[in-house]
Amino acid sequence: MSGTIYQALADAVIEGNQGKAVECTADLLKDGTDPKMILDNGLLKGMEVVGIKFRDNLIFVPQVLISARAFKSSLSILEPFLSKSDTEGMGTVVIGTVKGDIHDIGKNIVAMMLKSSGFRVVDLGIDVKAEKFIDAIKNEKAVILGMSALLTTTMGYMKAVIDKIKNENLSVKTIVGGAPISNSFAEQIGADGYAKNASDAVELSKRIIK
Ligand code: B1M
C-alpha cells in the first residue's frame, strides 16, 4: 500500500503538484511511515526523475522550480519528524551553498539530518561568500563548516573558502558535498572530507570531530 503512495508522492514532485505532494506526505506520516523512508522513496525518487528530465531538456527551469516548491513543502512537513533531537551536544556546524549557487534542496536535507543527530546547525543559506562563512565560523564557534555546490562553475569557490580558513588559521574542519563533488575533488582542494549524501554527511561529521 505505502509503495503506491510513495509512487504517488514521487509523481506529485515530478508534476510539481504541491497540494498532492503535501497530501501524500501527510498520509504516509499518519500511517506511521518512517520519515526517512518518505524522503528516500518518495521525494528524492521524484526529484531524481526531475533531474534527468532537466538534463535531457524535456523540462525547463520553470517546471523544475515548481517541482522544487512541491518538494520543499513536503520537506517542511517532514522536518519536525526528521529533526527531533534537541540535544545539540555535538557542536556547531555552519553550512551554506557557495557563492554563485542557489541550489539548496540537498543542503537543507543535510542540515536537517545533522540537526537530528545532535549538531547545532547555523544555515547561512545560498550564494554565500567566503567572508560570511568566516564570520559565522568565528562568531558561532563552529567545529565544522559544510559547503554545498551543485554547479561545476561554483564548486571551485569551495577552495577559495578553504584557503581563507587556512590563511586565518581557523581550527574548523571542512566538509563538502553536492552532485558534482567527489572524494578526489575534496582532497584536491584541501577539504577534511566529502559526503555523497546526507547520511554520509552525518557519519563523516561525527568521525572528523573525534
Ligand atoms: Co539546477 N542544475 N540550475 N536548478 N538543478 C543542476 C545542478 C544540473 C546538474 C541540471 C542538469 O543540467 N542536469 C545543472 C548543472 C550542470 C553543471 O554544472 N554541470 C543545473 C543548471 C545548469 C542550472 C542553471 C544554470 C540553469 C539555468 O538557469 N539555465 C541554474 C543555476 C542557478 C544558480 O545556482 N546560479 C539552475 C537553477 C535551478 C533551479 C533554481 C531551477 C532549481 C534549484 C531549486 C533549489 O534548490 N531551491 C534547480 C534544480 C532543482 C536542479 C536539479 C534538477 C536537482 C537538484 C536537487 O535539488 N537535487 C539538478 C539536477 C541534478 O542534480 N541531478 C540541477 C535533489 C537533492 C536532494 O540532491 O542537491 O545533489 P543534491 O543533494 C544531495 C547530495 O548531493 C548531497 O546530499 C544531498 C542529499 O542526498 N549534498 C551534500 C548536497 N550538498 C551537500 C553538502 C554536504 C554533504 C552532502 O556537506 C556540506
For 11-62, the pLDDT digits (tens) are 999 999 999 999 999 999 999 999 989 999 999 999 999 999 999 999 999 9
Domains of the chain with CATH codes: 2-82 (1.10.1240.10), 89-208 (3.40.50.280)
d(CA 109, CA 198): 6
Q: Distance from the CA of 68 to the center of ligand 1, in angstroms?
A: 10
Is the minimum distance from the CB of 26 to ligand 1 under 6 angstroms?
no
Contact 100, 128 (CB under 8 A): no
Lowest mean pLDDT among 66-80, 126-140, 159-173: 66-80
Residue 201 Cα: closest atom of ligand 1: 88
> What is the pLDDT of the chain when averaged over all its residues?
94
Residue 97 Cα: closest atom of ligand 1: 84
Residue 95 Cα: closest atom of ligand 1: 91
Q: Distance from the CA of 31 to the center of ligand 1, in angstroms?
A: 31
Percent of the chain with pLDDT over 70: 96
Tell me: pLDDT of 1 over 80.
no
Which of 62, 52, 58, 13 lies closest to 179, judged by CA?
A: 52
Q: pLDDT tens digits, residue range 56-89?
A: 999 999 999 999 999 999 999 998 888 665 455 7
d(CA 71, CA 68): 5
Residue 115: its pLDDT value, please? Answer: 87
Looking at residue 129, its amino acid is K
Residue 89: its pLDDT value, please? Answer: 77
Among 56, 107, 124, 150, the mutation site with the greatest number of ligand 1 atoms within 8 A of its Cβ is: 150
